[in-house]
Amino acid sequence: MIRSVIFDMGNVLLRFEPERFLDRWNIRDLADRELLLGEIFHSPDWPGLDSGEFSEEELEERARKRLPERLHTVAHSLIFEWDVPIEPIPGMAELLAECKEAQLGLYLLSNASRRQPDYWSRVPGSSLFDGAVVSAFCRLVKPGAQIYQYTLEKFHLRPEECLFVDDMEANVRAAEAEGIHGFVFNGDINALRRCIEELGVSLSAR
């Protein structure tokens, strides 16, 4: 029987889809879309946010040097305001409440920047979490083994009593290599619910 569920954040608790962010700011020109994606979200600098190497301010400064001036304002918005509004994964907040009612520990393990605390409280269900590990603060990133070990040690968790949920298979397989149960999430809340129940936890669907 598991006693805790460790959740990734992007595309597990909330949507993180750069193409949707471009739509939100009404960027229709295909060349501009490609340029913004390439110089921000797909830039070699973006992982520096997760590792804690860069702040958003530093990322913006670097991106502005590579972008035409007409895209500077939208670049700022994409970097600092992608989380406005938060777009939750449908049904996840309800599942979190079910897990809490079943007395499961809930933990966050996310590759995210130092801005994460600024928007975390706006993620539905975040108040139910017992703790969080954010890569930029511990200077460790998934799928490196050390971040899983760090999480287990920080919260005094036994790997065989934990389920790790992430949308990226590489991250899940890395967790499994540390003895943690794993689930690759593709948006199917009912499949995740079944997985939790198969690991010995009875959930009361709301």
Q: What was the pLDDT predicted at 136? A: 98
What percentage of the chain reaches a pLDDT higher than 70? 99
- Token digits for 48? 């520096």
Q: Which domains does the chain have, with CATH numbers?
A: 4-15+88-198 (3.40.50.1000), 18-80 (no CATH)
205 falls in which pLDDT band (50, 70, 90)?
low
Closest CA to 185 of 160, 164, 201, 202: 164
**Residue 9 neighbours by CB under 8 Å, 6+ apart:** 16, 108, 110, 112, 116, 123
**93 φψ region: left (φ > 0), alpha (ψ -120 to 50), beta (else):** alpha
Whole-number pLDDT of residue 186: 97
β-bridge partners, 7: 108, 165
Residue type, 2: I
pLDDT digits (tens, 9 = 90+) for 115-146: 999 999 999 999 999 999 999 999 999 999 99
Report the pLDDT averaged over residues 31-53: 96
Decide: pTM greater than 0.85: yes
Q: If 0-12 CB within 10 Å is exposed, 13-18 middle and 19+ buried, where does residue 206 land?
A: exposed
pLDDT exceeds cutoff 70 at 77: yes
Instruction: Return the DSSP state at 14.
Output: B
Residue 204: its pLDDT value, please?
79
In the predicted structure, residue 206 carries a pLDDT above the cut 60: no
**Confidence category of residue 80, pLDDT binned at 50, 70, 90:** very high
Is it the case that residue 176 has pLDDT exceeding 70?
A: yes
